[in-house]
Chain A
């Protein structure tokens, strides 16, 4: 395949970026999208140019490092995959592909296609945990029976990889799907009940402080989420938040 790539280049957080055009040949359908960028970079290095920087690590769709807005969609055209799992067979010879970083006020660009998603860490730090010591002096694991359906739903929420596609997909750059997934995991489990009120209040407060936008229920986040995190989680967060306010 021969492709034209339009890629966002930006030296650092303070410099002004711009789109740059590259042509690339010899791309095979079995290559992953990131392997295609590897080929581009190898060529740039050999020509004495600076390679395009992008975040990536596990390359199997679980670490959440890779991002990229591809032709306007987070993680590209396929559903339920991250960019590293997107294969070039989803494109055809002669295509032009526009590659940008995830765009959000709360995700400032670090370099080229790399953005700073530490806002997600800070939301988690504000309450995304159960305050239990790691001493091992806890109840026997089976002393806390959990209904299978609840356990499965908690798992489904906990499967979020924190990639930020939900934010990039949202016209308001809202982090509600991300935050609600974490709130939901604990809300669905007995272990999370004790701190439920503080958790949802603190996490929502931190989310707002980070400069994420409001949720207007457009649902783009759910469609673009590579892990299929459901909008139900947002409804659950709203319920939790409301009941926390009433209690509070």
Chain B
């Protein structure tokens, strides 16, 4: 039944990528000058791809909705980027990074892609250092590392709590070099509204200039979608306000299969929701779990007293604290993968041990780390009998040096000092492992349409490990696409410029205009946010951290009804032919209203629990996820057929030749 060809090269795992690169077609430098490539999205994947393709000689056009490529949401990534450099000599290798990533993804990702990712990971660090990315260093001048969830080595490179910012500025600087040379034309404050196919190939996009409101046609020989994930389908997430699924969804409607939409990462350490006004959630980096210990009170009455404001966390004796991750998962402790940590926190809160007003928060406590670091510092600075308060001062200084900006962020939002009282955290939607289905060459099921970074589904299976998103975005952009896209474009050296006055562009533009006019013609009963918030509530309550058949069925119906209501009653003020932020939001929410339903349908179809997808019907007696490898060891790739309920499922069977598929255990 499957029409999906992953195009994974034959041969031993560790030679596939090299052998593939040696065999695929190349385009000579003179011909590259005749070829145009569109890159949508300028985060790590898009920015890196645009810079690399332009450097090779292609004519690149970049599109981003922000006012500058430098503001793409990769910038908000905090903790770090993985690479199998083994600088710490702690036994790391490409194989281990590969193994950890496959296992972390709960055996739902493609072996060959993940191995390639591990293989190029070291090169990413070399590349970024050469660009002048100021990674953290040790006193000897060498690069420093720290550890992240789901692994037993220290392979994470970082720049304080702003690693994403520094890496993105690196990619942006590489773009700037090409913009200065005239090889990249940046279209900022532009949004892709549709993909244009000519003779079955992706040949351009319809975009809207968000300042003037003008609808524009842009042609190219290939289109790269690096437009990020769709976490904002939940309304509240750690994504930026503008992050959206539009580019990927428009491609899906044109024939690109959408893979594993229900694989969503709920990140355990975010600042809890404080009220109905909330517009977004803020992440507290996973790196904090290197030093922070997660707990709730052991006694329910203590939790109740804390919620009522009668007791402070610092008053709870050590014996009355339940460090539930350390208790349940002694081998990995506080550094279990994100899906495991999130579910464990939810389990405690659901059982009545939550610690803030809403009962939906657990503590992340740095007290032990402050004292440990303080003691060490006191000893090496010659204060052999420092008092506890002196030790505490020293320890706080060290914690500030490591996580200062995160602590400041927390204090500004919550109005509490996390050096003195434990942070309160709760899981929040953070990343989407699902995305456009791509083959080994990162090509979608539409020839000439490629997807990179979070926008594709390929490397993280059902759960992404920390510090792997930055790695994947840059691997796709700097090293994978520049090779694989040439193989496709080799057939286009004699094609010449793609005209934009063809019937295909005409028709796509008309569809876009009609869609906007239809939105504007709504009765005007409710704002766009009204619908977005309603959708978010359905998604969080029925498609969130745990899911069941009954609620997924309800979600499907409720989302379909909400979508009908939206198209009839949405209110868009102002003129659609000018700058209009409500219109921008409406287009994005309209797509979320379709994706949300497919998401629920995908979750309903997958009768197993794996990674971030937890179906209540499928769990062990201890409450751990119960995977079903016999029936569900495949990628779900959905074909668009009109309404989401009519989408057709295609399966890519996952083949594990180099790794033994086991039950994931972090105990």
Contacts and interface: CB of A to CB of B under 8 A. Distances in A.
A246 interface: no
Given A64-B70, A111-B579, A141-B125, A125 B176 contact: yes
Interface in B129-154: 129-132, 134-143
A62 B279 contact: no
Nearest to B479: A136
A57 B134 contact: no
Contact of A53 (B132, B524, B579): B579
Contact of A145 (B136, B140, B160, B274): B140
A38 interface: yes
19 contacts: A12-B579, A30-B277, A38-B277, A50-B574, A58-B240, A59-B241, A60-B76, A62-B165, A63-B73, A121-B176, A129-B132, A129-B176, A130-B173, A131-B177, A135-B52, A136-B127, A136-B479, A138-B126, A154-B132
A87 interface: yes
Interface in B190-246: 211, 238, 240-242
B134 A155 contact: yes
Given A62-B76, A129-B131, A51 B581 contact: yes
A87 B414 CA distance: 10
Contact of B141 (A118, A125, A148): A148
A135 B53 CA distance: 10
Contacts of B68: 64, 117-118, 120-121, 162
A28 B277 contact: yes
Given A85-B413, A87-B412, A89-B415, A136 B160 contact: no
Nearest to A189: B132
A124 to B, nearest CB: 5
Contact of A85 (B124, B173, B409, B578): B409
A191 interface: yes
B66 A134 contact: no
Given A87-B415, A140-B126, A110 B579 contact: yes
A12 B578 contact: yes
Given A50-B574, A159-B165, A35 B278 contact: yes
A57 B242 contact: yes
A110 B581 CA distance: 13
B395 to A, nearest CB: 20
What class of interface size applies to chain B in its complex with A?
35 or more
Contact of A155 (B124, B159, B279, B582): B159
Interface in A82-121: 85, 87, 89, 110-111, 114, 116-118, 120-121
Contact of B134 (A28, A45, A189): A189
A155 B165 CA distance: 11
Contact of A134 (B165, B172, B174): B174
A242 interface: no
Nearest to B74: A63
Given A145-B141, A146-B141, A158-B166, 4 more contacts: A30-B274, A30-B277, A48-B524, A60-B283
A142 B85 CA distance: 10
Contacts of B582: 45, 51
B173 A81 contact: no
Contact of A34 (B75, B279, B282): B279
A81 to B, nearest CB: 6
A140 B128 CA distance: 11
A74 interface: no
B176 A57 contact: no
Given A63-B73, A126-B180, A148 B137 contact: yes
Nearest to A112: B579
Interface in A1-52: 11-12, 28-32, 34-35, 38-39, 42, 44-46, 48-51
B164 to A, nearest CB: 8
A65 B71 contact: yes
Contacts of A140: 126
B345 to A, nearest CB: 21
B571 interface: yes
Interface of B: 48, 51-52, 55, 66-71, 73, 75-76, 85, 87, 120, 123-132, 134-143, 159-160, 162, 165-166, 169, 172-174, 176-177, 179-180, 186, 188, 211, 238, 240-242, 274-275, 277-280, 282-283, 408-409, 412-413, 415, 478-479, 482, 524, 527, 529, 571, 573-574, 578-579, 581-582
A164 to B, nearest CB: 10
A58 B228 CA distance: 14
A146 B141 CA distance: 4
Given A57-B240, A63-B240, A65-B66, A42 B173 contact: no
What class of interface size applies to chain A in its complex with B?
35 or more
A48 B87 contact: no
Contacts of B135: 141, 151
B173 A128 contact: yes
A147 B130 CA distance: 16
Interface string A151-179: 11011001101100000000000000000
A64 B71 contact: yes
A72 interface: no
Contacts of A59: 240-241, 279-280, 282
Given A129-B176, A159-B162, A142 B142 contact: yes
Contacts of A28: 275, 277
Contacts of A55: 67
A185 interface: yes
A145 B129 CA distance: 10
A191 B135 CA distance: 13
A141 B125 CA distance: 6
Nearest to A29: B415
B499 to A, nearest CB: 29
- Give the 5 A-B CB pairs with smallest separation, nearest first: A145-B141, A129-B173, A136-B123, A155-B134, A138-B130
A130 B73 contact: no
B66 A57 contact: yes
A126 B527 CA distance: 43
Contacts of A185: 132, 134
A58 B413 contact: no
A45 B573 contact: yes
Nearest to A85: B412
Nearest to B73: A58
Given A50-B574, A60-B76, A141-B143, A124 B134 contact: no
Contacts of A147: 137, 141
A195 to B, nearest CB: 10
A142 B143 contact: yes
A38 B278 CA distance: 10
Contact of B279 (A32, A121, A135, A142): A32
Nearest to B172: A124
Contacts of B408: 80
Given A55-B67, A155-B159, A129 B174 contact: yes
Contacts of B529: 38, 42
A155 to B, nearest CB: 4
Contacts of B52: 134-135
A186 B479 CA distance: 24
Contacts of B172: 124
B67 A50 contact: no
Given A62-B76, A63-B75, A192-B132, A124 B176 contact: yes
A114 B172 CA distance: 22
B75 A58 contact: yes
Contacts of A151: 134-137, 141
Nearest to A114: B579
A60 B162 CA distance: 12
A51 B581 CA distance: 9
Contact of A158 (B169, B176, B478, B479): B169
